[in-house]
Amino acid sequence: MSTISLHTIKKQWKLGLFISAIIIGYVSLWYTNNLVKRLSYEESKKVELWAEATRMLSETAAPNVDLNFLLKVIENNNTVPVILTDENEKIIYTRNLDSLRVDMPGYQEKELLEMKAAHSPLVVDLENAHRNYIFYKDSLLLQKLRYYPYIQLFVVVVFIVVSFIAFSSSRKAEQNKVWLGLSRETAHQLGTPTSSLMAWLEILKAKVNDDKLIVELEKDVHRLNLITERFSKIGSQPVLEICDLNKVISEVVVYMRRRKSELVNIDIESESFENYIPLNNNLFSWVIENLIKNALDAVPAQGNIKITILNKDSQVIVDIVDNGKGIPKRNFKKIFKPGFTTKSRGWGLGLSLTKRIIEEYHKGKIFVLRSEIDKGTAFRIILPVKKV
C-alpha cells in the first residue's frame, strides 16, 4: 500500500467520523425536538383543562358539577406556571411560580410579560359577558429539555476536541521517540562501517600511489561521516553556533552542482555579503540539500533553481524557487507530514526532517510561499538572527 493511499484512508476516516457526528447530532436534535413538541402539546392541553375547570368553578350555580373533581384538576397542575387575570389583565391568582420570589414587588408582572410573549392566553368566559384570561409558559422541565441537546452536543464537541488534542500530543510524543530511536540506531549502524572505511583509507594511502583515487575515497568517507553525524544530532538537541549563512548555503550549492544536469542552473542571490546567525552547520546544510534535491526532481530538463537570501529586521529569509511542476494548494501542509510523498520511490521523510530541523532546532519557520502547477514552487525559510 502506498503512502498516498494511507493518507487518503486517514482522510476518509476523518470525514467518516465527521459525518457520523453530524448524523448523531441531527438525530439527537430531531428526537429531542419531537419530545419537546409532545410535552409542549400536553402542557397546553393541561392548561386548557385547568382553564375549563376554573370556568366551571366560577359558575357556582351550574348543576351536576363535581366541585371536588374540579378542585383536584386545578391542584394537579404542579409544573406549568400560570397566571389568572381579569379582563383588564389584573392578576387574580398565580400557580407554580417561584415561591421564594412570588411576593417580591414586580415579580408577578414580569412573569406575566414573559407568558404573554410565550403563548396566547386562554379565555375563560364568565357570566354577564365578563371574562378572565389564563396566561402560562413552559414548565421548568420543558425549558431545560429544549436546551438539553445543545448542551449535550457542546459537551460531546468539547470531549472530542480534548480527546483529539490529547491523542495528537500522545502521537507526537510517540513519533519523537521513534525519531530518536531511528536516528540513534541509524547513526550507530553507519558509525561502525565508516570507522572501518577510515582505517582502510589510511592503509590505502600507504600502499596506493593513485592520489586521485585517494582524494575521491576521502570525499566519500567524509560524506558518510557527515551523514552519520547528522543522524546522531537528530536524536539529541544540537548545539547552535554563529555561522555565516551565505557560506553554508554556498558550500551546499557547490556540492549539488556536481550532481546535477548541466542544463539545470542553481544560482544564489544575497542582499548582504555575510549573514552571521546561530546555526547547526551540518543540519542546516541537510535542509538546503533536501530542498535542492526536491527542486531538481521537479524541474524540467532545462530548469532553474534560485536561492535568495534577504535581511528583514531581526530575521533572515531564505527563498528556494524553482520552475518545476508545482504543488497543488491542498498539499501545501501535507508535504511536511511524515510519510507523505508524491514520488513513486520515496519515504516521505525529507521535508518532515527539514521542518523538524528548522522549527524545533533553529526556532524558525518553513512553508510553501507560493506554487503554481507547471510553473514552479517557492519554499521560504525564516530564521532568527539572535541566538535562541
Superfamily of domain 240-384: Histidine kinase-like ATPase, C-terminal domain (3.30.565.10)
Contact (Cβ atoms closer than 8 angstroms) between residue 270 and residue 308: yes
- Residue 72: the pLDDT is 58
- Residue 278: the pLDDT is 93
- Residue 67: the pLDDT is 47
Whole-angstrom distance, CA of residue 365 vs CA of residue 381:
6
Percent of the chain clearing pLDDT 90 (strictly above): 18
Percent of the chain clearing pLDDT 70 (strictly above): 81
CA 316, 367, 15: angle at the middle one, nearest 5? Answer: 160
Torsion sign, CA atoms 116, 118, 120, 125: negative
- Residue 348: the pLDDT is 57
pLDDT higher than threshold 60 for residue 285:
yes
Q: What is the mean pLDDT of the chain?
A: 79
Whole-angstrom distance, CA of residue 133 vs CA of residue 120:
10
- Residue 263: the pLDDT is 87
Q: Which stretches of the chain are assigned E, i.e. beta strand? A: 82-85, 91-95, 122-125, 131-136, 241-244, 265-270, 276-279, 304-312, 315-322, 365-372, 376-384
Confidence of residue 196 (pLDDT cuts 50, 70, 90): confident
Whole-angstrom distance, CA of residue 340 vs CA of residue 353:
12
Could you say which DSSP state residue 329 is in?
A: G
Provide mean pLDDT across the span 20-26: 78
List Cα–Cα distances, 330 to 176, 245, 340, 342, in angstroms.
26, 32, 13, 13
Taking residue 262's Cβ as centre, other Cβ atoms within 10 Å add up to: 7
Considering the entire predicted model, what is its pTM? 0.54
CB-count exposure of residue 362 (10 Å: 0-12, 13-18, 19+):
buried
| Across 27-31, 191-195, 200-204, 331-335, least confident range | 191-195
Pairing of strands 276-279, 131-136: unpaired
Whole-angstrom distance, CA of residue 294 vs CA of residue 298:
6
Q: Phi first, then psi: what are they for 115, rounded to 5°?
A: -70, -40
Using the CB atoms, write b or e for 332-356: b if 16+ within 10 Å: eebbbbbbbbbeeeeebbbbbbbbb
Q: What is the pLDDT of residues 321-366, one digit of tens each?
A: 999 999 988 888 888 877 666 665 555 567 888 898 899 889 999 9
Contact (Cβ atoms closer than 8 angstroms) between residue 23 and residue 31: no
Q: What is the pLDDT of residues 58-78, one digit of tens each?
A: 665 455 544 455 455 556 667
Q: What is the pLDDT of residues 171-187, one digit of tens each?
A: 777 666 666 666 666 76
Whole-angstrom distance, CA of residue 315 vs CA of residue 208:
50
Strand partners, 371: 377
Q: Indicate the helix (H) or strand (E) that contains 346.
A: none
Strand partners, 366: 381
Contact (Cβ atoms closer than 8 angstroms) between residue 322 and residue 307: no
Confidence of residue 134 (pLDDT cuts 50, 70, 90): confident
| Across 57-71, 243-257, 290-304, least confident range | 57-71
Torsion sign, CA atoms 254, 256, 262, 266: negative
Stronger pLDDT, 183 or 101, i.e. the higher one: 101
Provide mean pLDDT across the span 237-243: 85
Provide mean pLDDT across the span 146-153: 77
pLDDT higher than threshold 50 for residue 1:
no
